[in-house]
Each structure stands twice: as C-alpha cells, then as structure tokens.
Structure 1
Amino acid sequence: MEVPRHWRIRQQRYSLVGEVCPHCEAKIFPPRDVCPECGGEAKTRFDFSGRGEVFSFAVMHDAPAGYEKTTPYTVALVKLEEGPVVTAQLTDLGEQPVEIGMPVEMVTRKIREDEEERGVILYGYKFRPVLK
C-alpha cells in the first residue's frame, strides 16, 4: 500500500473503526456510505472489539513485493464477533498450529518497511491467538 493511502485510512487500520447502519443495525467494515445489507445511508461510527475467530487461512510462501522478508506467514479470514469478516495476517503464533475457529484478537504490528531511502515503517492490524 502506498504511504499516502496508508495515512488516509490509518484510523481503521489501527483500531478497526467501521460503521453501523442506523436502519438495519448491520456492522460494516471497512466503512462505506451505503449499507451493503439494506442499501440505506450508513455513516454512524462503530468501534469493533477486535475479537473474533479464524474462519479460513493460508500460509504464504511466495510473497508480493515488499513482503519477501517475512515469508512464510499466515493470512486469515477473521470473522469478527460483531459479524464482518476481515482479511489479516496472523502473528505471535509461535509453535501453535492455526485452526479454523481459533479465537484471535487484533493487535497493531509492523506491516512492512519502505525499502527506499525514506525508511518509512507502515503499521496496521494483525491478529494473534487470544492470550489465556
């Protein structure tokens, strides 16, 4: 993701801020002006808990440009407690195997570092297994 776009969407990248539809109560992430459930106007802010469970996952061995240093890594579809499904990298797994239904929680982590002279580090959300 290019740096200017990253800064425009930083609020939802760091804290899972979305919207709730005032008409049908659907929770929406990422935010959009129209509810995908009922088509009504949806501009009411909603802060997601950041808790959910692994819905599906894949281990990436061949990474896109800018992410080669972190392979292999696990990407998951995470179904949030409030309903939406988000795509995110899993982190802090250690030796723990990833399983469908595994409870996870959002954390802010380094996504990647700009390899050019600027040295900009981009942060965003990832999910880790729930600490017991």
Structure 2
Amino acid sequence: MRSNARAEAGPEQVYLDGLASGRFEIQRCTACNQAVFYPRCVCPHCGGTALDWFAPSGKGVVYATTTVYRKPEQGGDYNVCLVDLQEGVRMMSQVRSLAPDQVRIGMRVAARIAMVGDVAQVVFEPSEELA
C-alpha cells in the first residue's frame, strides 16, 4: 500500500491489512521512541503524532492467562492471554499448540500470524528463546 494510502486508511486498518498480507507490524513514536500497540494516531506516552510502523521481534512473555470453557460441539476450550512483547507493549491473543490449561504466566512465546476463520490474527507459540 502506498504511504499516503496507508495514512488515509487509519492505523487500525493499516495493521489489519498488514496481517492479511502476512506482515506483523506495530508502531513506534518518533518523538519518544516508545513502541505503541494497539494502533492509534497519537502516542499514549508523550502525545506525539508521528508514529512509524516496524516489525517487532515477536518474542514475548505471557503476562496473564485464562481458559474460556466451551462445549466440544461449540469448538471446545481455548485460552486467552496477555503477552508482553520484547518491545514493551502488551497484546491480547492466544497461545496455540498447547492445551489451554498448560499456558502459564511467565512462559516464553513467539508470535506468528494465523487465520482465525477468515481473519488474520497474531497468535503465539511456546518458545525456548529468551524474550
């Protein structure tokens, strides 16, 4: 997408379009150099309005987790977690490839893009790499 088209789309749409194209990007404020997530127009740290996009490392640590219980015919149980990325932002997601009750606070994880229905989303997998 052209840079002016990205600006016209709004930050949330730029983020979602990136995921749909296989790119996981978050913002960084050019004034205070802090990472920003969820996408927005104004830096929550300093009020700056110049936010650039960059690809984070994808490395993180589970900050909190819970299990959502559902009947098997409704898709079964799944976890919802908050992950602190190495860049200093926190995002809500899921840890995949583990039973929901196996996800632990402090667990190291790595991001990947997965299709959830028809929507590309950031999900996490357990990782041995240091976050």
TM-score w.r.t. the length of structure 2 is 0.74
Cα distance change of structure 1 residues 83 and 95 upon mapping to structure 2, 3 Å threshold: closer
CA contact (8 A) 1:61 1:72 kept: yes
- Whether the 8 Å CA contact 2:29–2:43 is kept in 1: the answer is yes
Q: Does 1:38 align with 2:46?
A: yes
**Structure 2 partner of 1:24:** 32
Report the CA distance shift for 1:111/1:95 in structure 2 as closer, same or farther (over 3 A).
Answer: closer
**Distance in 1 separating the partners of 2:31 and 2:100:** 45
Task: Indicate if the aligned counterparts of 1:50 and 1:80 stay in contact, CA closer than 8 A.
Answer: yes
Counterpart among 37, 53, 62 of residue 54 in structure 1: 62
1:75 to 71, 80, 85: 80
Could you tell me the percent identity over the aligned residues?
A: 29
Deviates more, 1:38-47 or 1:7-16: 7-16
Residue 16 of structure 1 aligns with an amino acid whose one-letter code is F
Q: Can you give the 5+ residue segments of structure 1 that lack an aligned partner in the other structure?
A: 113-120
Higher helix share: 2
Q: TM-score, normalised by structure 1?
A: 0.74
Aligned length: 116
CA root-mean-square deviation: 2.8
What SS does structure 1 have at the residue aligned with 2:102? coil
Contact 1:19–1:42 (8 Å) recurs in 2: no
